[in-house]
Structure 1
């Protein structure tokens, strides 16, 4: 019989996987990998804000992740190329977050828990927050799925048909911030982007429609979460990195199978 903490860890991993997978598809389609990095690395600034103001960690991380995503969106039309801008902001956010946490007076903060996750320490309250945030992110995507898809594949067509690509970008930004906030406890700030990108990239060769890709990505994300937990329990390895390692192995397998699938 599994212990309560193992069940909570498995449910937390599943909640993050279900939220990150469909969102990760849009990250892959829009080539926004660095966008995910910049937002997730800003999570440490949110931790510092929450600890300094005695707010819940989720609230601080959500506020800063959303602010970073909006800043990135606002600056992306400037002279710097998008990848350069995102690279600067991603690493700057991580560095400022590390410095801010270290300067907190009277606080002894275990940075590894925030950098790599602490899924085995998820409480019932954490689990509720993770699932509420994950379901909210999924609900946003389901609600705006067709509009988001049109704005992603052809912004000009979206505009011509009366859509608002900028609004859809903001909705995607909010979903990303929610996912970053709920995933911090599970895989940590350094690995959140991997859970967005790797399952979605693994699903791509198997999918014939965008909806199928989102479903397969969610399945791969869940397998990675459960597989990483099993590896962690069996070999006493860090759980967050183990989850991402399993996701990476799934991607390698998907890449090896891809030529055979194309030949059929």
Structure 2
């Protein structure tokens, strides 16, 4: 019953997800600091969605009267991501994957990615550059994803897994995955066969290529043993979906209408650059 309820919630929310409307802009524009997100609706400061610091998180999903009545008849409790996902061993990491810094650090950078948006790579590079000027005791970076092409869900899910299984290695992985996504797209276009990355083998340029996430499992330290690769890959899709649900919530709460986007201490940046991120944290 719990799994069915989670699936129902995910389906209802994700159909109206913030990434579905497209991203706009260009990769070069992001480097110049051209607007990458709408202005913030909520200015509640940092950590509103941080399960390490809050027992109750914002719930932006509005339910119809019929849905409320149906759930009441089923004897269901008030819905919340922390309540529905709590049966998962690493639910906190899935809804709030910290890839830099202490999860309980006072300052917060939320990075919302769409793997299918080419400019996500540029935005992520700005985040990585900014991190070199930040204190991990004072600021953390958490990553979220809602990709228009389904394979992005797996790739974000692997970032979740790496964030707690291989501490300190999630940021280099995301740099690799975003770069590789755009490189494969470019190779496919040159050969006249570009296609949506729905499944892992869509994201290859040649028949001999490994899918992006499989190609990285052996780069980790320690590498993922071959016998565990399938289990990790299966986990990634589930974790990516849990994270995607929370990404939709973040978009609604902060008024973000297109991805990629960066939210610093509760404010969505209108212009994304390393300097803008660092200045917003100061």
Structure-2-length-normalised TM-score:
0.28
The structure in which a higher percent of residues are helix is 1
The structure in which a higher percent of residues are strand is 2
Greater relative contact order: 1 or 2 (C-alpha under 8 angstroms, separation 6 or more)? 2
